[in-house]
Amino acid sequence: MSRTLVDLTGQQFGRLRVLHRIASLSGATRWRTACACGNWKDVRAGSLLDGSTRSCGCLRPRLSPEARARARRERLDSSLDRFVAGFDTPGDPDPEPIDLEAETGLVLRRRD
């Protein structure tokens, strides 16, 4: 099954304007783009089309190391909650919390 190549040249995606198609070793179509801030970025077509890439990175908020660590802990906490929920068995005695504080600053507890 062959895919049809859509020419994105000249189109605007967020702050990125597509300049031309570039060679790709991985098989994914990549495009050279120019950002409104003046930087250039090579981007997969899918990332442009689904909106996951809208700039060269200049839109990414500049976070302090503490804020980055806090955001990482929150993402990890959310992932661990979803993981543990998959193992929750009604009727089991409540196990002791798994202390991850030494590694991550988080304490994993079973949901009620």
- Number of domains forming the structure of the chain: 2
pLDDT band at residue 42, thresholds of 50, 70 and 90? very high
In this structure, are 29 and 82 located in the same domain?
no
Q: Over the stretch 84-112, which tens digit does the pLDDT of each residue have? A: 666 655 555 565 555 566 656 666 566 65
In this structure, are 15 and 44 located in the same domain?
yes
In this structure, are 12 and 32 located in the same domain?
yes
Indicate whether 28 pLDDT > 90.
no
With pLDDT > 70 as the criterion, what percentage of the chain qualifies? 67
In this structure, are 49 and 70 located in the same domain?
no
Indicate whether 9 pLDDT > 80.
yes
In this structure, are 35 and 15 located in the same domain?
yes
Half-sphere exposure of 88 (CA within 13 A, CB side): 13
**CA dihedral angle for residue 19, residue 22, residue 28, residue 31, rounded to 10 degrees:** -10
Q: Which residue has the higher pLDDT, 98 or 7?
A: 7
Q: Which residue has the higher pLDDT, 97 or 35?
A: 35
In this structure, are 24 and 43 located in the same domain?
yes
Cα gap 70→60, rounded to integer Å: 16
Cα gap 70→57, rounded to integer Å: 21
| Cα separations in angstroms, 98 against 10, 92, 112 | 54, 16, 15
- pTM beyond 0.95: the answer is no
Q: Which domain holds residue 87?
A: 65-108
Indicate whether 73 pLDDT > 70.
yes
Strand order in the sheet with 30-35: 12-13, 16-22, 30-35, 40-44
Give the pLDDT of residue 35.
94
With pLDDT > 90 as the criterion, what percentage of the chain qualifies? 26
